[in-house]
Structure 1
């Protein structure tokens, strides 16, 4: 699409969506969405000449005239059950093409002090509660896609935990994409507010019907107040012909702990940005990530950890695996601001190439303006150990199975950090399915 036709297309899309939702949108949201639409039309999609996007060309997105996905209600309970992590309890919200399917969701009973509402329901029933939280921490400093999300937001969820409340069971968010003849997009917004001493685990799980080629542009905003603990999982397993852009924004207050698990197995073109702001002492963040790219998949992850006050900690471990013609990108930036003394920050990126056509670009960064800190970073890119492969082969293990065993051992450094056993086992199984050999093949050899 040319720049002019692209501008006209997205302007038209904004007008159509605005008209469709006009009856129940509060004035503040209408104004916010219109302003975001205008801003996106002005800035457009990012360009590889932008340093933040030098490794990822979004032309596959700009060449498609994506349109808002309507309600189809074709997803059934059996399909949902097939994608649900068993053993975690029945707290689950299901979205089809970005729209909440209340009939397939299960929330009852919730403990006192926990509010979980579909975003459209929150807009209709209590917009005043939503207003201070929507876009409270999201911004477009590094990417225009959060602005695009605000302009076209489809649906989503508001999760609010009162002071001292613990949601004992994980909340599963299943976001399912259908296969369609036209190019569809959806823009979910996920808001998580944990008040003082509150705790919760939230799982975002993205899956598709076979052959789906839609575009999911999601924004997640997490606010962890003093002493709160939030475990956040982002499991991306789209169809290999689908597109995904995700932006996670986290604001941490005193003594809060946030843990992020980011696992990417699917998608044709995927970009994830994680933005962490620790604004009060004692806050701590753990970022764990794993991606596997095959065929001509492209997965790009950017993390930005901002230590702006003393006595904060960050730990980051990202691992990438590339085979076929796949390309992976990891760029991690840790900023330790002036006056942020006694900061501790560690960042490590390890990457494995399984083919001579695969590519991984990694760029860890430390930017330090304080003098009493502990900080380290490192990055590696390599291939499987030939001696280890020979050793396993000498024990009668087929080469592809031996290769898979070594890859699993490499990935296990991230997977073992996943506290939820059903999720951990599901990710191990998915990794096996996407590798040419499996560990199970070696049984009985």
Structure 2
């Protein structure tokens, strides 16, 4: 397919999508979809000639004709159970092929006025918070895939934590895609609102139980109000033939705290764009990431921390482990604006190449327009420490086990920042299986 065909395919199939809304095209929200489709039609497809896509070639995506209406699939609870890491203690929202499944979800007792559920229900009810915040942070005028998501928004997770409420149990959201023989696109759209002095932990989990071909084009908007605390974990356990485009936009108000942990075993192609903005003084932000890719997988992390106000702290640390012919990209930018004095920003990217054929492109960036700041950044790309491996082997540890131990130690820096013990154990097991520990 040519570039024109990719866009034309979605435009021509928009009517099929409208029919799948079961009358939803008469809702006021549908104007947002149609406006986004118009924007999508006018945005050019990014190529490696564009600076932000210099190392990211999307030709493998645009050659496919993805169905805009994913097939409905019945899924046994045991399949969902494979991706759980607690003893049914956490709140759980399940989406199969982009559609909310109440029968597979469970919500424990929640405080009054807390809203946890599907975006489709919020759209149907014209929820005022949805209408106030939707599209405010993930602007779609200049982003092809965000405009595509907005145009084809049907479902996703909607969470509203009212003022002064702390939700102790994490909310685990599973987006499970089951393609079979049919290639399709899902457009998960998530909106999380934490009002003043509230607290919540959210796990956004993308997974597949087969090796089908699909496109998961997800957009998540998070509003962290004054003194609110949001802990966000994103897990990617996709089909190795899948394509994942993810964008997360975070608005942080005065004295808010936000933490992001991305753990990815990739897809055939995955790109994650994260932006957090300090719109009030005294905010704190942490972005941590760990990606494990092999064979010919491709992973791209594009991050932006926007220090627009003074007295804010940010800490960013991404790590990658690449095997075989895998290719990785890290492009992290920290922007310190003229009024953002007393900024403290740290950024680092470390990657280990376990093969001569693996490639990592790393570009940490600082743009500083204030003079009273403390900022640092750095990047390392290399192989495992041979001296450390030799030391372990002299203690009677075999080559394979020594390699696995060093990899585990390298990855643990990111995993140990996750506060949920059962999730840490789940991730430790993934690493152990991957490297035969």
Q: Which residue matches 2:373?
A: 373
Q: Which residue matches 2:115?
A: 115
Shift of 1:413: 1.1
1:69·1:98 contact (CA, 8 Å) conserved in 2?
no
Q: Which residue matches 1:293?
A: 293
**What are the residue-to-residue correspondences of 1:150-169 with 2, within 5 Å?**
150-169=150-169
Pair 1:142–1:350, CA change in 2 (3 A): farther
Q: Does 1:272 align with 2:272?
A: yes
Q: Does 1:422 align with 2:422?
A: yes
Q: Does 1:61 align with 2:68?
A: no
2:183·2:212 contact (CA, 8 Å) conserved in 1?
no
Q: Which residue matches 1:322?
A: 322
Q: Does 1:126 align with 2:126?
A: yes
Shift of 1:27: 4.5
Shift of 1:53: 0.6
Q: Which residue matches 2:243?
A: 243
Pair 1:333–1:405, CA change in 2 (3 A): same
Pair 1:309–1:4, CA change in 2 (3 A): closer
Q: Which residue matches 2:206?
A: 206
Q: In structure 2, the residue corresponding to 1:10 is in which secondary structure?
A: helix
Q: Which residue matches 2:355?
A: 355
Q: Which residue matches 2:40?
A: 40
Q: Distance in 2 between matches of 1:209 and 1:44?
A: 34
Q: Which residue matches 1:443?
A: none
1:285·1:314 contact (CA, 8 Å) conserved in 2?
yes
Q: Distance in 2 between matches of 1:65 and 1:417?
A: 40
Write the deviation string for residues 172-228 of structure 1: whole angstroms up to 9, x where unpaired. Answer: 001101032121110011110000000000001111022122110100100000000
Q: CA RMSD in A?
A: 1.5
1:69·1:97 contact (CA, 8 Å) conserved in 2?
no
Q: Which residue matches 1:13?
A: 13
Q: In structure 2, the residue corresponding to 1:247 is in which secondary structure?
A: strand
Write the deviation string for residues 367-426 of structure 1: whole angstroms up to 9, x where unpaired. Answer: 000010111111111111111111212222221111111011111111111111111111
1:114·1:167 contact (CA, 8 Å) conserved in 2?
no
1:284·1:312 contact (CA, 8 Å) conserved in 2?
yes
Shift of 1:8: 2.7
2:70·2:185 contact (CA, 8 Å) conserved in 1?
no
Q: In structure 2, the residue corresponding to 1:329 is in which secondary structure?
A: strand
Pair 1:26–1:233, CA change in 2 (3 A): farther
Tell me the matched-pair count. 437
Q: Which residue matches 1:262?
A: 262
Q: Which residue matches 1:103?
A: 103
Q: Distance in 2 between matches of 1:375 and 1:8?
A: 45
Q: In structure 2, the residue corresponding to 1:159 is in which secondary structure?
A: strand
Q: Which residue matches 1:442?
A: none
Q: Distance in 2 between matches of 1:416 and 1:108?
A: 27
Q: Does 1:185 align with 2:185?
A: yes
Q: Distance in 1 between matches of 2:5 and 2:323?
A: 37
Q: Distance in 2 between matches of 1:434 and 1:179?
A: 24
Shift of 1:25: 4.3
Q: In structure 1, the residue corresponding to 2:213 is in which secondary structure?
A: coil
Shift of 1:71: 4.8
1:25·1:124 contact (CA, 8 Å) conserved in 2?
no
Structure 1 residues without counterparts, runs of 5 or longer: 439-445
2:351·2:380 contact (CA, 8 Å) conserved in 1?
yes
Shift of 1:3: 3.7
Q: In structure 1, the residue corresponding to 2:13 is in which secondary structure?
A: helix
Write the deviation string for residues 287-314 of structure 1: whole angstroms up to 9, x where unpaired. Answer: 1100111000000001100001111110
Pair 1:84–1:388, CA change in 2 (3 A): same
Shift of 1:26: 5.6
Pair 1:326–1:285, CA change in 2 (3 A): same
Q: In structure 2, the residue corresponding to 1:215 is in which secondary structure?
A: strand
Q: Distance in 2 between matches of 1:304 and 1:85?
A: 30
Pair 1:213–1:3, CA change in 2 (3 A): closer
Structure 2 residues without counterparts, runs of 5 or longer: none
Q: Which residue matches 2:342?
A: 342
Q: Distance in 2 between matches of 1:381 and 1:336?
A: 26
Q: In structure 2, the residue corresponding to 1:217 is in which secondary structure?
A: strand
Q: Does 1:92 align with 2:92?
A: yes
Shift of 1:335: 0.2
Shift of 1:135: 0.7
Shift of 1:99: 0.6
Shift of 1:70: 3.3
**What are the residue-to-residue correspondences of 1:387-398 with 2, within 5 Å?**
387-398=387-398
* TM-score, reference length from structure 1: 0.95
